[in-house]
Structure 1
């Protein structure tokens, strides 16, 4: 490429940045509204479809080991097609909003929200009607083309994609990369990034702006421009990532407690990955559509039509404004309810095993606080554990309380079995002084008190200490979960499969885990077992692989040493139960592949 061509491409970049900046406030507001709609409307809908698919296919979890068989199920294929259409429509809406916005900006026309909305909605219906399936496919390809930095970030940060990249043979990865690049190049050559511009300028045919309109050197420059633009974009996004994480590290470094600072940083780092992925996608599609729109107007100098048609399109709707407003409000209300449920109780997408190894705080936070007490649970919440594990037993008069042993002697000094003592007497016992004088007066809490503390704060793993049917422990716990509407915030474990069956009979929505020293093939088909909780030193690679292949998870207890954490991490364990979650989280995040995070953690410590 000679100097003249190089200067032309730099000029294109400069002009693209100018049209982005010209009405940037409206651009940010518009994209913000669309992303909010995706967050509050699209995400809950996707979550419901995933939840329905899991139920219809009979899977408890989607793991690396079973995702192939899951995806090949007829029900899954149907649901994926539905998701392809729904997400494709949203992508089309976003792309057409950007095309409309940049077309108006290119003309120097004053941006009016009403005109922008009308044109975008009209063009959505027009393009879907005229392009049909080709329009949706093009939207997906344009999103992929614009989202290459987003794709790489997702592969790096999200577990199921990362594991697939590690597990796949190098030859397959190379072949997939070649096919991916070849597909994008074929799209750019035969269809072109101007597909929607072509439809909107009423130039018929899918090849309308490929061979006829773009000269070979223009096509070459366009490919070079898009490639270079995305490299620059990736650099900018990396700087945003560095800045965001550095600011987070700087803020938490002021914490007096080093462990809490580290735990807070890791928690923010994990949750920020989702938001950063969204930001990367928005940046990518916005910047690329700006470049494509600018080069279209530069090469073609054609006006995009639709102003008069958009006005005519909306006129028949005026008599039905009240009905339209009612439907919009109803749609937002329903989806906001589902979104609220997801935020409060968890998401079905969590069952797809996409996150890193989760950490469960054993018996509250038994490392430094008396076990199975509200103080221990509060400590687990403060230290950013993913789950808090507690033991549940029943008193003589049927009250559910947190207690591990059959006897009250070890933690309270009162030498009686819990089932022989009424709650009124249990509530007067001191369950803290045995651990340290500073905890004198700490009480044994009820399960209801635990729910009051944990609702919306932390997930709960309840180990039900099943004794006999007369206590009705499973039924009582399930009833309380239903009362608090915490089905997705709670999991139930037990050494008794009978107890787990009773839980499933009462509410099949609740996830149940079998606490065991060994896992046998016959257990995989048991509907009462969604996951296994196993003594850590008995967990092997074969066990983890076989459990994942059968769509279930493996939790390991009780892990407190660095060597065991590192071994379990290599095995691909799903959840580690520990007395000291902050310490375990710190070990888990010390990955040589992430030098930047390691450096920030060192800064925090110092």
Structure 2
């Protein structure tokens, strides 16, 4: 397992501060920073013209004023979409962020990022990695970067691409499979990212014992999540970093 020098915070803001701003936007990352978060989790995919953008869904219907699949858009048409007004009037005019724009902002704010390589159905995992990784490794210091994915092919390609350079990889799971450890070892993973609601205590303890950092997605109720800290979970990737911080501060004072 690669030693990365990462100082992992207890809280990572999911898709930016997505309870307070439109997810996966520059505005959401600024909101996370202003709320005191030091790390964010974001998703990256390719447009039809191979521009890497920060976006979660296979299409644009849910989080923009447009319709259609991401793979059918080029940068010019993607940039015409309003990706903020759906969330609130004050975000009207927000534009889809390219990976390059997002990395520039993260650098300016000195924030860390857990970037998910989002391989939606029918999309090419290798093309995505080969486009994203050069930019990522040029612009983000290794101690402020975790690259995660549900897609093992993508993670294997990331490991291959990094070669002798330090790169923290995280393996995402819904329900944790029996062979989770072999899957993590196969990509020399730094961290395991299970669904918090489906993670069982023995699994969490085994992950910790094997030397992995455990980052759970996406708990938004800090009281319901509380027992997981005692299982050795390192980090909550949450839409509600402020509510979580308030809860943890209160608990620590008590």
Q: What TM-score, normalized to structure 2?
A: 0.89
Structure 1: how far apart are the matches of 2:232 and 2:138? Answer: 35
1:533 to 169, 190, 193: 193
What is the CA deviation profile of residues 382-420 of structure 1, one whole-angstrom value per residue up to 9, with x for unaligned ones?
112132011111001110111111111111132210011
| CA distance in 1 between partners of 2:71 and 2:177 (Å) | 33
The alpha carbon displacement at 1:470 in A equals 7.2
Distance 1:479 1:396, change over 3 A: same
Residue 457 (1) aligns with residue 114 (2): no
How far off is 1:556 after superposition? 1.1
Q: Work out whether residues 84 and 93 of structure 2, in 8 Å CA contact, stay in contact via their aligned partners in 1.
A: yes
Contact 1:60 1:551 in 2 (8 A): no
Equivalent pairs, count: 246
The answer as to whether partners of 1:361 and 1:385 remain within 8 angstroms in 2 is yes
SS in 1 for 2:67: coil
What secondary structure does 2:194 align onto?
strand
Alpha-carbon distance, 1:485 to partner: 4.5
- Quote the residue 1:513 is aligned against: 170
The reply on whether 1:416 has 2:83 as its aligned counterpart is no
- Mapped to 2, the partners of 1:450 and 1:549 lie a distance apart of 35
- 8 Å contact 2:46–2:52 — kept in the other structure? yes
What is the CA distance between 1:437 and its match in structure 2?
A: 1.2
Residue number in structure 2 paired with 1:553: 213
1:530 Cα offset (Å): 2.4
Deviation, 1:571, is 2.1
Q: Which runs of 5+ in 2 are unaligned?
A: none
Shift of 1:349: 6.6
Moved over 4 A (4+): none
In the aligned structure 1, how far is the partner of 2:73 from the partner of 2:126? 14
Q: CA RMSD in A?
A: 2.0
Question: In the alignment, what sits opposite 2:52?
Answer: 400
Counterparts of residues 176-195 of structure 1 (less than 5 Å): none
Distance change in 2, residues 1:358/1:562 (3 Å): closer
Pick closer, same or farther for the CA change 1:368–1:361 going to 2, 3 Å.
same
Q: Is the 8 A contact 1:60 1:552 kept in 2?
A: no
Q: 2:11 aligns to what?
A: 359
CA distance in 1 between partners of 2:22 and 2:177 (Å): 35
Residue 542 of structure 1 pairs with residue 199 of structure 2: no
**Cα deviations across residues 252-282 of structure 1 (Å, max 9, x unaligned)?**
xxxxxxxxxxxxxxxxxxxxxxxxxxxxxxx
Per-residue deviation, 1:576? 0.1
The structure with the largest helix share of the pair is 1
**Partner of 1:513: helix, strand, or coil?**
strand
**TM-score normalised according to structure 1 size:** 0.39
* Higher RCO (CA < 8 A, seq sep 6+): 2
Q: Which structure dedicates a bigger proportion of its chain to strand? A: 2
Task: Determine the structure 2 residue equivalent to 1:29.
Answer: none
For residues 12 and 148 of structure 2, what CA distance do their matches in structure 1 show? Answer: 13
Change (3 A) 1:435 1:501: same
